[in-house]
Chains A and B, each alone.
Chain A
C-alpha cells in the first residue's frame, strides 16, 4: 500500500459518508482514523444528531458487516456476546454457541451508558482482546473490528456512567455538535424531499485485505523523536502529581483527579499518524498531534468535583496544556 493510495481511498470513504451526513467532517475523519488505527470510538451528543446514521453509513461504505446493539438497563451480557443454546442435529441434542451481535466488523453500541455495568463490562473484553469468552470457551472476533458507542450527555436519570477503565479503551471520544443553520438547511433538503441520498459501498469484497494494508501503513508513518517527546510531555503534564515544578500547571492540579494513561499517548501518536496519512504525508507534524490531542485525551483525564462545579471541561484543561508545553 502506497501513501497515495491510502489518501485516495480515505478521501473516497470520507466523501461517501459525507453524502448522507451533513457537516461533522471532523467527526467523520476522526472516526475513519480510529478505524484504521484499530481503535474504538465513543460518540457523545444529544439525540437526533445523526450518530447512528454516521455509524451505519460508515459500515456500509466500508462494506463490512454491521450490528447494532441498543443498550437498555435490562440488557444482559449474553445478549451481546452470545450464549450456548441446546440444538438438535441428526437426532442428537447438543449445546451450540449462538453468536451475539458483537460478532461483526462494525458494532454500534447505541446509548451504551443505559446498560448496567455488568453488561458494559461484557463489551470490555471484546474491545480490548478482540475476543469473547462464553462458558470458558473463547471466540475470536472478526477483523477488522470496531465498536462505535454513543452516549447521551443529558437524560442522565437511569443511566450508568461508563467506568474509567472502559472509557480508557476508547481510542477517541468525539463530541457531535448540533448542526449550524446552513447545515440544518442542507439536512432538511436532503431528508424531506423526494430524493434521498444513498450510501454506496466504496471497498470491494477484498476490502478486509485492503484495510489490513492501510492499517499497516499507518503504523509505519514516520515520527520525529522531538515530536514523540512532545507527546510524552503533554500526556505527562496531565498528571496532577507531576507538574514538573511549573506553576502554570496549577489548573491540572486544581481540576484533575487523574491524568491520562499510557493508552492516551498511544492514541495520540496513532491518531497523528492517521491524520498525517489522510493529509497525504508520510511523517507526523506537531499540528497532527494537536489535532488529535483533544479526542484522544478528553475522556482519559478525570475531572474532580471542583471542575464540575466551576463548569470546567477537559478540553479547556487540554488547551491550557497545549499552550503551556513547549514544542521542542
Chain B
C-alpha cells in the first residue's frame, strides 16, 4: 500500500507493507536516532512526534501515519541543541542509547509546559527508561536548562 506523510518537514511518498511498523519506516528513511529498545511500548527509546505529540513508533503502524506529520530528532536538532548541552554537562547521556527518545519527550514536555516543576518533569518522563544514569542527571540538566532560560 502507498502512504504519504511529512517526515521532518519533507513530503514522503512510500510503498509499505500493511504491517510495517513506524519505527522501521523512519529508520529506513534515514532517521537512525530512533532506536529499537524494549519493542514492547515500555521504554520510550523509539519516541517520535506525530502531529507534535509524542508516541511510541515501535507500536504504531506506519499506515496510520498516512496523511500526518512525523518528526524525529533529525528534524528537531535546532530546538534540541541548547537543552542537550545541559544534559551532556551533567554526564547524564552516558551510553547515549536512550538519549534521543528522552530528548524528544522533553521537547514535547516543554512545548506543553514551558516551566514545569520537578514533579511534573518526573511524571512526563516516566515513560523513558535509562539503565545507566538513575535519572538524577537528566533532571538536573533540565532544571539547569530551565533556570538558564530565566536569566
Instruction: Tell me whether A and B are bound partners.
Output: no
State the A residues within 8 Å of B (CB). none
Binding site for A on B (CB under 8 A): none
